[in-house]
Amino acid sequence: MAQITVRSSDTPSAAAAAAPSPLSVRDSRGRTIGLRELTVLDQMRLLRRLGGENSPFFSFCMRLARVASIDGDPVQIPETDLRFEALAQRLGEEGVTALVVHEMSRGADDETEDSPAAAKAKAEAQDAQERQTVKN
């Protein structure tokens, strides 16, 4: 009879989680948050899972889904609301702010770099605008 050996490190999801992140941000607590680029398939699955009708919630969860590691500890793409909530709680205000600041700086010109305080103010303004959109 043939013998089959299955190694967990051979699976695509484990290999993707173990792959080093080419990009990282540091939050105000000094933690290094590694980021991943989401594939089109990842985005499709998240859209189906989260629904697109609540745009600020979807945008927030997409930010969280990009987290690949926290201080070198691998983070899987959350698959349930509870896992999104657990990741948000683990990141805390400091981690989420670092993600927002990074996202906003990606669209800025490399020549005009904002100070951390200015970037944080922009991030807070964007967050306030998203919250106002939800209220309306």
Question: Is 26 part of any domain?
Answer: yes
Please state whether the predicted TM-score (pTM) of the whole model is above 0.75.
no
The distance of Cα 79 from the centroid of its chain, to the nearest Å, equals 13
CA atoms of 108 and 129, how far apart (whole Å): 19
CA atoms of 119 and 115, how far apart (whole Å): 6
pLDDT band at 125, cuts 50/70/90?
confident
Position 3, amino acid: Q
Tell me the mean pLDDT in the region 8-31.
63
- The domain in which residue 115 lies consists of 21-135
Number of structural domains (the chain) is 1
Model confidence pLDDT, tens digit, residues 33-79? 999 999 999 988 888 888 766 678 888 899 999 999 999 999 999 98
> Minimal CA–CA distance to 33: which of 21, 47, 19, 17?
21
Six-digit token pair at 44?
A: 């499709």
Tell me the mean pLDDT in the region 12-23.
49
Question: Is 7 part of any domain?
Answer: no
Question: Is 2 part of any domain?
Answer: no
